[in-house]
């Protein structure tokens, strides 16, 4: 197995270019981030070139943080803002050669929200296609993100099928899926054709994947059986110095065959 460090949580105390170097030193195979927009893309691209690590993806902006927004693309009447966030995300992804953009839905519900999300995702897929970029959507759990529009893999599957764009895929976050649906092994295998990226963290505390109710050595083995070759995203909250939480990575490195 190969692993990606999500720098939204890991080494979050460091400037993003320094965090990329820290991930390389720790033995990660790739990196990913949440909202890198305060860091010039040229600085990120330079750090990626220096380390040889690919940046797997980033998120669209959440919106107005003072209003506690968490995405814009399912908000009726906010199409201009949503598409500006998509354009910004794609431009940044192109500049750092990231291959995935997670389009965040936001807090919404109902038919109007569904229509807005479908329209904005269709726009995102069309704009991303010439750059070879995949658009990701991710169900979030209702404990961390109550009221978020996209809540389950079943809902995500329906949306992906409705849009039918080859570059729209599911971000399967084991942490969120376990909290909302469980049955990770079967869901991973069943949804494999739709998955564009896989992330993980312990459940229920979202810490390092070495404790809690999910047996990650088993899950990693099942993912390997699926023929998954891309790095898995370590998107967990270290709760202290990141280096002190990496025993799981040392063990996984000792077991992997690549």
Q: How far apart are CA 84 and CA 7, in angstroms?
A: 24
The CATH number covering residue 16 comes to 3.20.20.150
Is 235 a residue of the active site? yes
Band of residue 257 on the pLDDT scale cut at 50, 70, 90: very low
Q: How far apart are CA 118 and CA 104, in angstroms?
A: 12
237: pLDDT strictly greater than 60: yes
Element (H, E) at 126: helix 111-128
Is 138 a residue of the active site? yes
E strands in the chain: 3-6, 30-32, 57-59, 100-102, 134-137, 168-173, 195-200, 232-234
Catalytic residue selected from 138, 224, 243, 244: 138
Contact 75, 82 (CB under 8 A): yes
258: pLDDT strictly greater than 60: no
Contact 189, 223 (CB under 8 A): no
Question: In the beta sheet, which residues pair with residue 200?
Answer: 234
Catalytic residue selected from 32, 69, 224, 235: 235
Mean pLDDT of the chain: 96
pLDDT at residue number 234: 98
pLDDT digits (tens, 9 = 90+) for 44-83: 999 999 999 999 999 999 999 999 999 999 999 999 999 9
- Residue span of the structural domain in which 184 resides: 3-255
pLDDT at residue number 253: 80
Domain count, the chain: 1
Contact 11, 23 (CB under 8 A): yes
Question: What's the rounded mean pLDDT across residues 192-210?
Answer: 98
Band of residue 255 on the pLDDT scale cut at 50, 70, 90: low
Q: How far apart are CA 67 and CA 181, in angstroms?
A: 29
pLDDT at residue number 55: 98
């Amino acid at each position: 197995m190969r692993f990606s460090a999500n720098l939204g949580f890991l080494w979050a105390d460091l400037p993003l270019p320094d965090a990329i170097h820290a991930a390389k030193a720790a033995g990660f195979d790739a990196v990913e981030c949440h909202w890198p927009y305060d860091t010039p893309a040229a600085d990120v691209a330079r750090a990626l070139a220096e380390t040889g690590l690919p940046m797997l993806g980033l998120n669209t902006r959440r919106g107005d943080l003072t209003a506690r927004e968490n995405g814009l693309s399912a908000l009726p009447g906010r199409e201009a803002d949503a598409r500006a966030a998509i354009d910004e995300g794609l431009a940044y992804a192109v500049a750092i050669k990231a291959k995935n953009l997670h389009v965040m839905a936001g807090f919404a519900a109902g038919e109007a929200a569904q229509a807005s999300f479908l329209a904005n995702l269709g726009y995102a897929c069309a704009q991303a296609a010439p750059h070879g970029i995949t658009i990701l959507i991710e169900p979030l759990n209702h404990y961390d993100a109550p009221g978020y529009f996209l809540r389950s893999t079943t809902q995500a599957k329906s949306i992906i099928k409705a849009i039918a764009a080859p570059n729209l895929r599911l971000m399967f976050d084991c942490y969120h899926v376990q909290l909302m649906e469980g049955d990770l092994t079967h869901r991973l295998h069943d949804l494999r054709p739709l998955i564009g990226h896989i992330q993980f963290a312990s459940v229920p505390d979202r810490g390092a994947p070495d404790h809690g109710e999910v047996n990650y050595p088993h899950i990693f083995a099942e993912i390997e059986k699926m023929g998954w070759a891309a790095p898995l995203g370590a998107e967990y909250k270290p709760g202290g110095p990141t280096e002190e939480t990496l025993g799981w990575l040392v063990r996984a490195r000792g077991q992997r065959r690549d």
